[in-house]
Chains A and B, each alone.
Chain A
């Protein structure tokens, strides 16, 4: 069975928070809906929101905060 994942739209540095002092956008066990922001990707001095295209529950992260990610790379695994 194919897992549902949330992918990074762009290459860059992945962040789980909107700022160092903020709470993470989502953590394990949080429900997400299509369009929800789950993180940021920084590239060329700009930040872009990573949004879920699916609904589900966050099952885990495949990359860490501030890891480099590629365009289309799976970042979060969702479960129903």
Chain B
């Protein structure tokens, strides 16, 4: 009989995700989807002995209960939250064996952080769509029926490959969580002097931005800000200087829509008619999944493309079995 788990409580948005998601589909209108915090997701997968492409769960905020119908190795990582197996508190960033019939409960997170990831040995076995099991919320595609999980859903689990040994992700290899996040980003593609002034760019990278409550997997809304702009209108593209002729958007773009900067998340739009003043580095992109949309603040730290690539290599090196220790 196939292994499975049942959702007893789905929380506000729990989705099936895999890393790196649905890559290579930008030209067809698909952002990659995948975990909004790829660091915690990948750590949870590593802890349960899964191969990197295995699908797991992204839990937004918490308030989720799962019942395992088969024994499994599980690990919970990400935002601070109370996790318990059959009522017994378990530490985050550690794997453990749970017996058939066990219930994993994840309480509502008080922060810091906003998303919690559950790695399960064998992975979630939903049918891949265009090469990925990730849920793309804006397109209502992929994952489990293209939607967030709700009570009564039963998810098939794949065959286990790990040895089930409990492991801990070394505390020194875990990223710090905070209510104030410095996020690495490169300048452009639409920056100074063509679209914004140099002073605007210094403001973009210099100030702290509050995260709006209506941020989600599509985008992280920041605060409205009156930029100086290098031009008075968008010309043939529109009346506002943030308007450009429709253009493709990079994943993690800091898209300025009128006066409102929005960081495009994993389920964002692939194209549109607003400038992208900066682009979050892949090594910093995981942080946008942990921004709590009730008062967390963000500051962008400017890096070069070369620095962004080097940071990504360092991050990849931390996400290997060398960061695991026995419990």
Q: Interface of A with B (CB < 8 Å)?
A: 9-13, 42-46, 48, 68-72
Q: Are B110 and A68 in contact (CB under 8 A)?
A: no
Q: Are B292 and A44 in contact (CB under 8 A)?
A: no
Which 10 pairs between the two chains have the least Cβ-Cβ distance?
A: A11-B294, A44-B216, A71-B108, A45-B214, A68-B294, A13-B213, A12-B213, A43-B213, A71-B110, A68-B295
Report if B60 contacts A (CB, 8 A): yes
Cross-chain pair count, CB within 8 angstroms:
47
Q: Which residues of B contact A13 (CB under 8 A)?
A: 213
Q: Are A42 and B61 in contact (CB under 8 A)?
A: no
Report if B109 contacts A (CB, 8 A): yes
Interface 1/0 per residue, B110-121 and A, CB below 8 Å:
110000000000
Q: Are B292 and A11 in contact (CB under 8 A)?
A: yes
Known: A43-B213, A44-B215, A45-B216. A72 touches B110 (CB 8 A): yes
- Could you tell me the distance between the alpha carbons of A13 and B295 in the complex, rounded to whole angstroms? 11
Q: Which residues of A contact B109 (CB under 8 A)?
A: 71
Interface of B is mostly: loop
Report if B128 contacts A (CB, 8 A): no
Q: Are B61 and A71 in contact (CB under 8 A)?
A: yes
Known: A10-B12, A11-B294. A44 touches B110 (CB 8 A): no
Known: A10-B12, A44-B293. A70 touches B110 (CB 8 A): yes
Q: Which residues of B contact A45 (CB under 8 A)?
A: 214, 216
The one of A9, A42, A44, A70 in contact with B13, judged by C-beta atoms closer than 8 angstroms, is A44
Interface 1/0 per residue, B205-221 and A, CB below 8 Å:
00000000111100000
A11's nearest neighbour on chain B, judged by CB, is B294
Residues 181-197 of B at the A interface (beta carbon under 8 Å): none
Q: Told that A11-B292, A12-B294, A43-B294 touch, could you supply 14 new A-B pairs with CB distance under 8 A?
A: A9-B108, A10-B61, A10-B108, A11-B111, A12-B213, A12-B293, A43-B12, A44-B12, A44-B13, A45-B216, A68-B295, A69-B294, A70-B110, A70-B111
Q: Which residues of A contact B214 (CB under 8 A)?
A: 42-45
The one of B108, B216, B292, B293 in contact with A72, judged by C-beta atoms closer than 8 angstroms, is B108
- Could you tell me the distance between the alpha carbons of A45 and B12 in the complex, rounded to whole angstroms? 11
B292's nearest neighbour on chain A, judged by CB, is A11
Known: A13-B213, A72-B110. A44 touches B60 (CB 8 A): yes
> B147 to nearest A CB, angstroms?
13
Q: Are A11 and B12 in contact (CB under 8 A)?
A: no
Q: Which residues of A contact B294 (CB under 8 A)?
A: 11-12, 43, 68-70
- Could you tell me the distance between the alpha carbons of A10 and B293 in the complex, rounded to whole angstroms? 11
> B106 to nearest A CB, angstroms?
13
> B115 to nearest A CB, angstroms?
11
> B293 to nearest A CB, angstroms?
7
